[in-house]
Amino acid sequence: MQQLIMTRHANRRARQRGMRHVQIEQLFLLSDLASQVDRHLCAFRVSREALREAVADGLPPSEAERLAGRALLLTDSGTVVTLAHLHGGKAQMYRRRDRRPYWKTTRS
Along the 108 residues of the chain, how does pLDDT read in single tens digits? 567 899 999 999 999 988 898 899 999 999 988 888 878 888 898 989 999 999 999 999 999 998 988 899 998 888 999 888 876 555 555 555 544 444 444 444
Distance between first and last Cα of the chain: 46
Determine, yes or no, domain membership for 101.
no
Determine, yes or no, domain membership for 25.
yes
Determine, yes or no, domain membership for 102.
no
Nearest to 65 by CA among 23, 34, 93, 99: 23
What is the tally of structural domains in the chain?
Answer: 1
Cβ–Cβ < 8 Å for 54, 64: yes
pTM of the model: 0.74
Determine, yes or no, domain membership for 49.
yes
